[in-house]
Chains A and B, each alone.
Chain A
């Protein structure tokens, strides 16, 4: 298992290199640089600026400089925020994004998992149909549409929750309710569908029939015997889904004005802050590779059958 983990990590390196190189050349193919502004700076100043960021070097040398910086954990300076490095900016945004993503995923697992189990236990009854109808609708409720609508309803019309912003000092939680709910909604829908399907299949298995035949109480059959098996597809879903949550958080952070990485990425893209855009793409790519790896490892821990292969 250790060997396999190491092999996966080694394979990830060329992947990342390819991503960096592709982004790098794309950025350099762009007409106009970060210092092309409406107010023209004198050529001498522009030349000095370009020299400071190494933009006057040949492209392959710039790439080498960037890569050697990366090896030392340096993502380079931001081209728009002159006093900050890309690392600083990402570190500033990371807690907000992490809180948002993790709480949305936790909420989705709790509610989606719960609803899915309930639907499975009441298969083809009223509760099942209600949950499945909600799940189908939920998949089609993108944050882009739901976000502004919940802002309108809860923030403007009812005035019970703030429409955006993040103030960590006083009642920070209230500011998270709407964004987390909006981000979690499609996840709840998908997880409840997955959970229902997998639970129904598990309940039909021989292991569960044996557990029932032994005369175990129903609650114990469900929670101790069926749940760990039924959770397997959810585990393999959550890894890649976290990547989706992060992409979704772009929308959420933009809609709700939260100072996370997604919001900064969107701003940076608008301002053509190349190094910041590259930095964020890189950080996300690393996270996605790690999440997928973690999901695979979890799967192996939970499912003894997967270890044999």
Chain B
């Protein structure tokens, strides 16, 4: 590792223990203050999203008829006000954050699964199959993905909000795997002639075993970076869908649907500012974390 030469501020390890790529990456990440800070922010946001709605004094869908659309106040703990239906804004925003993060992570997981499998298979098998699979990706690439999501969401509308939510991240995930498959394919092609693949084949591993046991673990670095940077993109996409009324439906809320409601109630600015700030913090933290991971996992890129 050339990195051992470069970083002369850390003393050489006492025992000569081999350092893995991931150990190196973690050390580099921890030395990047912006990435560390955003790591903490993301952790706090995830904790808020998971436990916040349970712990906050007001339930998510409680309606306070005597205090509808009130500005932030200390009375009865409406510290960020209530919306025009009389629901507490803190509770709504925490819940919206939960749904937005859920969609971000789940849709990324869908995109990851499809993209990694597709790219690894195309790259490993190569030849005509690779050519055909990648031309298909090129065709899909020609359209901004939000079109396809909108078309999908137009075509399939579910009455049950939970089914609808599941469909949202299936739909977003199903169109967001393209870049992932390209990255993985490129990496796979550069790996498939390597000695360890040769060795696995000599040991009698079947092709699919080689792809998923030997190649996929070795392409995870760029995949992790891309996935992290992809989460904010997906959160935005979901927000946009909810914003135009094709996304999550009441009584569920996401940051996007809260923004849409806030935008229509400009006389009650706290309804806009709370989700907007939450959204900005989330996007900034995830982007900085992704950038930090990229620098940590792939020092050449700097």
Contacts and interface: CB of A to CB of B under 8 A. Distances in A.
B247 to A, nearest CB: 12
Interface string B217-242: 00000000000000010001001100
A254 B139 contact: no
A142 B276 CA distance: 10
B287 A285 contact: no
Contacts of A144: 236, 239-240, 243, 256, 259, 279
A215 interface: no
B270 to A, nearest CB: 11
B266 A265 contact: no
A270 B245 contact: yes
Contacts of B266: 148, 151-152, 155-156, 163
Interface string A243-259: 11011001100110000
Interface string B192-234: 0000000000000000000000000000000000000000100
A15 B142 CA distance: 8
B143 interface: yes
Given A254-B243, A281-B143, A288-B142, A148 B154 contact: no
Contacts of B146: 247, 250
A121 interface: no
B71 interface: no
Given A148-B276, A156-B266, A246 B144 contact: yes
A289 B151 contact: no
A284 B147 contact: yes
B143 A284 contact: yes
A272 B150 CA distance: 11
A208 interface: no
A304 B75 CA distance: 70
B37 to A, nearest CB: 13
Contacts of A288: 142-144
A247 B245 CA distance: 17
Nearest to B286: A140
Given A141-B280, A144-B236, A270-B245, A30 B139 contact: no
A302 interface: no
B272 interface: yes
Contacts of B63: none
Given A29-B155, A270-B244, A137 B272 contact: no
Interface in A136-177: 136-137, 139-142, 144-145, 147-149, 151-152, 155-157, 163
Interface in A1-33: 14-15, 18-19, 23, 26-27, 29-31
Contacts of A200: none
Given A140-B283, A148-B272, A251-B240, A23 B144 contact: no
Contact of A19 (B139, B244, B272, B284): B139
Contacts of B272: 148-149, 152
Nearest to A266: B244
Contact of A140 (B154, B262, B263, B284): B284
Given A140-B287, A149-B276, A247-B144, A30 B154 contact: yes
Contacts of B151: 23, 26-27, 269, 277, 281
A30 B154 CA distance: 8
A30 B155 contact: yes
Contacts of B246: 269-270
Interface in B257-298: 259, 262-263, 266-267, 269, 272-273, 276, 279-280, 283-284, 287-288
12 contacts: A15-B138, A140-B280, A144-B243, A144-B279, A145-B259, A145-B280, A148-B259, A156-B269, A244-B144, A246-B144, A270-B154, A285-B143
